[in-house]
Structure 1
Amino acid sequence: MTGRSAAASLALALGALLTVTVSPPPAYSRPSPLEGSAWLLESIPGQRAVLPPAPTMRLENGRISGSDGCNRYAASVLIRGSVFRVSAEGPSTQMACPERLMRQAESFRAALTAARGYSLRNGQLELMAANGTPVARFRPQPQEIAGALWIVRGLNNGKQAVVSPLTGTTLSLELSARGRLAGTAGCNRYTATAVLGQGTIQVGPPAATRRICVRPRGVMEQEIQFLSALESAGHWQIEANRLELRRPDGALAVTLRRADGR
């Protein structure tokens, strides 16, 4: 083989190699700006002012969940570009609520079903029908525990049940900006350390005063159950004026509402 033909063969081989190995970089799929967001219903066009507690909407991993103001709901959702479409509704609770709340819940669910698109503007979220008509408007859901007083509405009694506090007792929780929990456990005051993460919480062993209360009956047992439930919490989530603390296995530990009702 001559020098010229050998060089030509080498050039052809290099060209083939480059053709095989060089390819364009993979397309980058940008996550939806709604991923991991939480919202409170601001208004439904043509409807009266939203009654408390406001319906909520949380968007994570192709799922939509929250409260319609009466019952909890969950569904799968398609979000692609400006497309927003609730595609398959999952299970929901079946509580009965006052008629006005039930009507609002129905309107909210209908708005979600009718949505075909969305827009984000000035921090507000608007869902739109196929013709571009707004069907629901939302404001961001505050995600802060600190600085508010929370009143316990339910606690895990350690017997595979979440029960309401005894009549005549108040159980509360307040978190300081320095990560210190404090409140009343029904009879005694308590304090504990708390480490908060993005949706996670780690509560240190609570320390309480040493009063002995005899009324109402069972108050001291309730106090032990509450402090144990509080220490077992591993996750937190806020929806409207409701705070849920859950154990790492997903079971409810404590449910609370903001004392100011907001």
Structure 2
Amino acid sequence: MKSPTILLSAALALASLASAQTPALTTDGAWTLSSLTDGQGTVAPTGMDLPTLSVQGEQISGFAGCNTFTTSGALTGQTFRFGPLATTRKLCAPEQNALETRVLTVLAQARAFARYGETLILTSGTSKAVFKRAGGTEGKVNTPLMATWRLVGAQGSEPLTLTFGEDGRVGGNAGCNNFMGEYSAVDGQLTFGPLASTRRACIDPALNAQEQTFLKDLSEVTGYEVSGSMLRLTTKSGKVLELARPVN
């Protein structure tokens, strides 16, 4: 019969091995918001700039949809608590502001977390924020469009720009305001989803008219052609917009 000492040693060895084979649960890394649930319901954000969360130990930062934020966090077992959130104070478009307020509220109230592979869920009661690990390749596109382009022949000192991302998002500057949204490009066909923009006033009437025309034209784009350093966008009315790259 084996002695109690030998049995105890074997049990401790097995426990130690099991512990070594079980990776420590961590929230460290960069995360992108996938969905948000609160008292107003559930929303799955889309657009050029999705809210993000970056965790490095107790140091936490992120992007709430318009402004950036920083704070510290305490992680104990399955509990997760944010310290006071410090944010920038940039003027936001109404849609961005509404989402940002909800994001910051849920994060400030978060008290527990769960990690399932590449998914991180922060919860507080019935509210939760679901994040996906940033940096994946799912949903990315690869077209000659992926660059920053400048509208040829635009008035004013501020270039009118258009930046295509590999994740199907688009953004740019319309002369006075920044805009963002989504795009779909397949075999020379191109369409933009609804474009959200900031609400800064254009003092110069000519620049304001140019901005409105540019945004309207983008909403009516149906096709594109890339030739060297030139991009030509065609609208449903047959109008052609010429853009060049690079802008920097």
TM bracket (short chain):
0.3 to 0.5
Whose radius of gyration is greater, 1 or 2? Answer: 1
Instruction: Return the TM-score normalized by structure 2.
Output: 0.46
